[in-house]
Each structure stands twice: as C-alpha cells, then as structure tokens.
Structure 1
Amino acid sequence: MTLKSKSNPPLHKEYQEPLELDRLTARLCDIEIMSGRGGFQLDQQLTIPHAFIILLNGEGVLKRDAAACPMRADTVYVCPPESTFGFEGGTNGEISIAVIRFYLYQESSRSRKRLDAVDPAGLLPYNDGIMIAPAGRLNALCRSMKEHSCSSDRLVQWRAQLDYQELLYETLAAARRQPAEDTRHSLERAKRYMEEHSSEELTIERLAGIAELSPKYFVDLFKKTYGVSALDHLTHLRINKAKQLMLRSGLLLRDIAHEVGYEDEFYFSRKFRKTVGMSPTAFIKKRRHRIAVYGSASLIGYLMPLGVIPYAAPLHPKWSGYYFDQLGADIPVHLDAYRQNHNKASNLDKLAAVEPELIICPPGLDQWEKERLAGMEASVYEMPDDHAGWRRKLLAVAELLGEGAEAERWVAAYERNAELARKHIEAGEKPATVLTLRLLKNQFFVHCSRSMSDVLYDGLGLRSPLASCEQAPFDHPITLAQLDEVSADHILLLICKESETLEGWSKLQQSPQWLSLRAVRENRLQLIASEPWREYSPIALERMLDIARDLFSGNRP
C-alpha cells in the first residue's frame, strides 16, 4: 500500500474527503520526554507533523503560535501540522513534558491501495485540552511509549506504535465525551465571546453567565488563569482594535471610540493614553507615513530604536517571536514570516495591496523580487549589508527617516550600557574567555555570528580561547574530544530548532560521553536561544547584552 501525498509529509490539502474512523491509519513518528527544574523552558519550535503536548510533572504554560494556555495534568494538547509551540515551566519543583509527533492517513475512496494524509481537525480540538481518565493513565502511556521506542529490539519498538494507537483511541473517545461544564472550557467560552463581542457592553455578570460561573469565582479564576483581569483584557482588545482602525480607516476619533465600545470619546482618549502611553492624536501622527519592511523581520530591529513602527512587516510567533510579542498589535499588516520570508510571492502581493510610501528591504534579494518592488508606487531602500556594521546601518536608515538625533541618542545609551555591563562582569587580571558553539544534526561547530562577536568580544571585552576565532562570522566543525581539550571560562551552546537536531540532542545529554566533559561537569556550559543570538540588529544586540551580563556575572536565569 502506498502513501499518496503532495510532499513529504503532506498535511495541507486543497480537498480532503470526509473523515471516517474505520478508514484511518495512524503512525507514531517519535516521542520526546523533556525534564528540568523550576523555570524550565522549551523555545518555540516548528512541528511538521501533528503533535500531542502532555504535561507529565509540575506546572507550566503552553504557547501554540500566538496563543498561550496553562497546562493541566492528565490532559492532551493538540498542535496542528506546520505550527509552532513552546513551553514555559513554573518556578518550583521538577517539570516534565512529553512531545509526541505523529501522522494520520485515510484509505482513499478511489483505491484501497492508497493512503492520503489527512487533517483531523474535526476529530481533535486544537484549542482546548482533552482530559484523559483515570488520573495517571496518560503519564503511564507516555512513559511506556518512550521506553518501547528506545528499545534495540524491533518487535518492542513496534509495541510503541501500539501504545500510540491506544493513546489516540483514548484521546478521541475523551474528546467525544468531554463535559461541557468543564471549568477551563467555560472560561475559554467567555474569553472567545469577549474577543468576538468586544465592542458591546460587557459586564462581569454577563461574562460570568456565559461561563456558567458565579461572578466572584469568574473574576478570581480569570485572573489566575490568564494573568490579567477580565476587564483589563477587554480594554486591551478594544485599544488594539482602535489602533487598527486609526491606521486602516479614515474614521473620526469619536467614530472609532463608538466602534470599539466607548460611548464617550474623551473617556476613550484617557483609556488610550493610559494603555499606550500617548494620546490617540499623537499615535496617528507618529504613524502617518506608511513604512513597510520586506524580506527580513530583523529590519524591525533598526526601526524600533528610532521609535518607528512599520505599517507592514514579516511577523511570526516563532521566526520573529520578539517582534510579534512586542508589536504584533501595532503593525496593521502582517506579512508571512514563515521560515523567514518563505512565501515571497504572496508577501509581495500583500505589500502591493497596502500601497506603502517607503519599503525597506535587505540586500541580496532575487532579481524578480527587486523588479516587483520597483513596480510599486513606493520608494525602495535597500539596507547596507552587515559588513557596514550595525551602527552605520542604523544611522543610515535614521538619516533616511529624519531621525538622526534619535539614532545618536540610542547608540550613546547602548555604549553606556555596554560599559556598565563590562564593569559588572570584570573579575581578575585577565579578561574571561568564552567559546560559542552550535549544534546542527549530530555535528558541533565552533560558531560565532557577527552579533555574537560585537557583543561578547567588542562590547564586553571577553576573549576567545581559540586563536582561529578572531574574525566573525565563522563555523568550524569540532568533535567532543577536541571540545574537552579547550580551556574556556564559559561555553555558550546554540541548539538548532529542527526535529533531527532536537532528537539527537535529547539523547546526547544522557550519554556518558557528554556527561564526562569537563565543561559540563564544572557547569561552565550554558544554552542560548537562536533568537536573539543569530540576529544582527541594534535591538537584538541590546537584548544579547542584557543576557550576557546576567550569564557572566553569575545571575543566571
């Protein structure tokens, strides 16, 4: 029997036959169990197949794309294909989570010899968790599946597939009978209602009634669950909607106030100033010019120091997570930033539709992209390449936008912060040494990006223990045996967030070869995230400076 699909593996199809349970075939791809102490985090990563995320021990928050929810024990959380997820653990105790990746296929109605990849959105709810009873059953299934999948016996490995089939069956059965009165679902129902009806008059009594909870219990539970009060969340929704209307429509301010749910224009203005930090008029004036960023989200890192927020830019919870969190609500048009501008043609179509006045793009675009941009009724500014250095690049774009004084102030503030950080971490007569590594697939590299070099070596005055590491950027393969011979005060390791690397890293951490490394035994090795350490922009360097200061002064997060 063949697996028929558009790609490997295909999970998004233009047409899908109705799902029929008796024609489904499931296949476990892999299972990872990751553990840590309080504060354990899992950076946002991409899943190509479907994934189940399960909290085995402790507490924490699951972030799927832009949505976050506290995780419960004995609960399966579903991540759709080609989406991103991350995890942030609580502050106390041992924390463990399981990540189970799998494929689902359905026997084709046209040929029993063909299986088509399917999306089970109608069977598995993506938004809510699915509780599995009795307590502890889900934990036991996950650990059994992991144990069997790691066996060297092929027959026992196959048993892991049966464990997964059992888990899938119990999950589907639980999803079918999950009670409507579940408290978490009640809160989600009220929260969704707020998002869909934010312009209406909403009271605590009305929202509590939708959640089928008492008003006092609703208020307490909403704040505990989401970290913000229900009324503050409503204000956030209304102000964000107002921002969009200010930038996308020609409505008068009083009409915008009415549109988002405020009868009194002056009360709305006070709310806006308190939430945003400036008046609606100042917000509109500052955003008057339509500036668009194309090709790289890192260019936003050159606009933020100038107080400039683009009208359109690439944004994604994983590929540009910081800018998505900071400015997602303030940038009206989100270009697709999947895998860093993967969908170029659709982004250019969207950019042409918004008619920007100025388009800022990175160097090195394909010729056809340049021709499309040139055909738009907008000025196009191509940023200098990284060899110019971030300071010259920032000053150049600042001159273009008439914000030269603001750029000079920002650079001066950065230099002061770097000097303070350098004094904060200085100890002894000689500068500390730091080695930066990258793991890709099963290969370690002595790795240094231009941003790492600017922060660690130029900004903080640290030194590399290897003479060959004078010029960045570079990538040099290194074995574990060679690494064990390197004498460095600090080693920073960046793990590439792709499935094969993460799976290999999970196994390597438990191996005697890794645990016997001097740097590991002496706690001189620290993990760093791809974001911001692989980005070259003023904002990324500012964030790296803060992280490095904490790492090297002993204030490790």
Structure 2
Amino acid sequence: MSNQHKRMSHFLVSLKKHSWRAGFGLRVPQVPTHALCYVAEGCAAITISGKINEINSGTAVLLTPGMRIEALAGNTGSLVFYVLQYVEAALQPSNQVVEIMKNTLLAADLQTDSTAFAISLPATLLSKLEELAATVSKQDYASILRGQLLFYELLSFIHTEQLQHAEKGIGPVEATLAYMQKNYREPLDVGILPRVAQMTPSSYCRAFKRATGMTPSEYLTHLRMKEAKELLVSSQYSVKDVARSVGFSDELYFSRLFKKREGLPPYIYMKQAGQRVAVVSKLFLQDHLLAMGIQPIVAPSFPSYYTTKSGFPQYLHHRLRGTKALNAEQPVDPQEILCLSPDVIVRMNVQGREDALEWKQTPQTLLFNDYLHWDEYQMNIATMFQKESVAEEIIRHIDTVEKQAKDALKFVTRKGRWTILRVLGDEVRMYGVYGHALTDLFYHKLGFQPDPRVTHASYRADAFSELLALDPERIILIWSEKSHVAALEQNPLWRELRAVRENQVYYPDSRDWDPWGPLGREYMIQKSTSFFLRAAGHG
C-alpha cells in the first residue's frame, strides 16, 4: 500500500482467478499496475528482481508498477491464485474541487521490492475475493458501486494484515538473525540491525525480544559463546585465539564475560572439557554433554536409521566431528571402549542386561538410572561433571524456546483435539498423554490439546482397533517410514477415519526429532513449529 494513503484514492482494474497445473511456468516482463496476488491453494516459486521466493497457500504478495517478475513456476502440484489489479490516483484540491491527476502511476510508487506475508484469516480474505469477483462480473451501475465498496473493504483488510505482520516483525527479524549468524565472528554493531530490518529501533527491539527471548546484544553474545565453547573443547586453540575467532578483540573482556555466563573461566572450562568421555548408552546422552561443552570421544550411532554418514542424527552430525561413532545397533564389547583410554564412561543402569555386571566392574564407568523428563537427565549428568550451573542455564533456555513456540502455535493448537501415532510395519502405536518425552513436549509444553478419551501413559502398541473406535479429529504421524504410511493409506478402514476424510492428518519429516536432550529438543521444536505453521498457511 502507498504511504501517501491520505492523499490517494484507489480504483479497481480487474480481478481474475487462475488455476494452473503442476509444471506450469510464466514470465511477466513488467507489472503494469499495482497488484495483489493471493495463493488460495498449492505453492510455487516466484522470482522478482533476481530473488526467488516460495509462496504457499495463504500467502499474499503486493506488487507495484514497473516491477519485473522474471518467473513464476510450480513443480510440485497445482496452484490456485487470485490477481487483483488496481491503480492509485493522487487527489489534489483545485478551486475547492478534487481532481484526479492525469499520471496515476506515480514515480514514487515504482519500487523494486515486493511485500509477501501470510494472511492470519485466509478464509475471510477468500470470502471477500469471491464476493468481489461475483459483484464485478455484473455490469449494472449498482453492482459497480457495490464492487468499489467491497474493493475498499478488501484493501482495508489487507492493510490491517500487513500492519500486523510488520508489528510481529517476522520477516525482518528473521533476516537480521540470519545476518547475525553469518557475521557474529566479525566485529558487529547491533545498532545497524534496525536499519537492516527497515524498522525503528524500539519496534525492532520489541519484535526481536518476542522472537528470541533475548535482546540483540544478548543474542549476539549467545552465538559467540556457543562457538567459543566448541572451540575450547577442541583443545586446539588458546583462549586468546578463541576470543578473536568469535569476534572479541579483548581477551580479558572475553574471559570475564565467559566466566559470568558459564560459571568458570575459559581455561578451567577447557581443562574440564578435556576429559576423555565415552558414551555407551543407546540414548543420545552425547546431546546433554555437548550442550555443556563436553565432546565425547565415542558416542552411539544408528547407521541403518539415520541418513548421515556417521549414523548420528542431523542436528548432531557436524557437532560430533572427531567423535568415534559406536554402532548401537550391535552389542558393545567393553574392551572396544577401554582401548580408547577414556577417563569416564557414561552408561545408563539397565537392569537385566547380560553385560551390566561387566560395565559395573569397570572403574571409569558412571552409571545412572532412567528418568522421566529430559531435564532430569541433564541435571544428573551435569552433577557428574560439576556443571550444575551450566545445566540450569540450559534448562532455562529450553523453557524459553518452548514458551515462544507455544505462543507462535496458539492458532494451530487451539483447533480441535490431537492424537499422536507412530506407524510401523506391523502395528500402529498410539501415544498417551504422559510418561513419554514426546507427549510431554507436544501436549504439556507446546499446547496441543489431546483427545480427552486418550488417558493412558507412554504408548499402546498395536492400537489400530482402538484408533478406529476413537475416530480422532486430528492425527500427527511421528517417526513413521513412508512405505509404512503408504501401506496404511491403502487400508479402507483408515480412509474412513474422520481425520483422514477431513484432511487433518499431519505427517512431518520427523526422523531426526529427538525430545530427550536439549539440542535435539530445540531442533525438534524449531522443525515442528515451522511444519505446523506452513501446514496452517502461516509459514
């Protein structure tokens, strides 16, 4: 919308609905008027001034005269979208008579950047577009006047949505986050970030705090300290080298800041992290160790499940460079670990295991029991390495991440009741409402409302008959292979379920989702939030 709205009037030129099949391609040399494009169904890639943007269902794009669309293409499915064209006219008083300037396309409106944003009330906008299209198709004078009225109502709606989008600061803040993540190793003045986001300093700081839970300066320090801990763990650099590598020119200031945040000076942190720690439990306890700055010399991997070369999940693969991958899908020989000369061996105390006694007799082994919640694992491992204060900071950070995600997902989680399933080759597992890290995260932290008829703990195996009787409103499929899901979709009983018939089955790519450790939990929260926002037309 033009910022000159107080002196502008708008006139509808045309409104068209387009339906294109997958594989279409379009080139528009130049946009002749102002235009509002709204994607009602599907997704596509639009290239404007050399920049490629993904536009999904529920996305509006505002274009200005003279803009060049180099390509619009959809390769994954059909696309249904509306294009509303209009002109802006400047109004000037002349002898107490308002006259429309002859040149309605003002030079000030010849912009090179489009504005794309998700519509929070897509059904409302679609209804307005349909009503306007039906009205302008008629040629009588009353319909023309009615059409102009509906057109102004639609512009007012779009203007409000655009202001809400700007207030949330979603796009601009994400852009500055990416800028900081790319440049935090260099001297970086956070004062330039509002200009990068094209926001006022006060509005930007409020939006940034809502998005991250931190101020820009705090977030920059967070990035630098996270990198510093990884470098200190490697033992290849001096404290001075680490400080310079993460953007601090003053080693003394870096050391004071590090001690304030981590509870101990960097050289002590480096010494403690230098312990040779081996993880031999199937649970990814290396996640908890890495979060505290301790990189194990050996850690469990699952090469037949994870797609990385190491057999570690995606979010741990690069962090565990230099760590020996221990195939946890096979029995572990204690001698294989002892020959690596570990100072500490971390293992869960699994009762009834044939090799449990052998591990107990190994003096380097620290055994601990199973716990219900991820933060109990974190605190107990921290106690082993005298890092309780570090663990407390990790737990506070994850709590903040969970609260931010819960707030972002409100308009998704409030709709209907949810049931979580895992599809395996020969069974369907139904997860309960407590007693499992997965349901703790989804139901108790992120705010998804469980079906009230589901009351059991952990999960129930072979629960397909129970699922049919439940006939849930919404289904989330977790950790399920595509071939297993495809086989289930061929079952006519599955297709009769309410959630299936109403297209309320959500199937994210969750292979690497792991809610048991802080790094995996944060990764899972980010990925799941992004998935559900896109599914709802807001991502």
Question: Shorter-chain TM-score: what band?
Answer: 0.3 to 0.5
TM-score, structure 2 normalization:
0.45
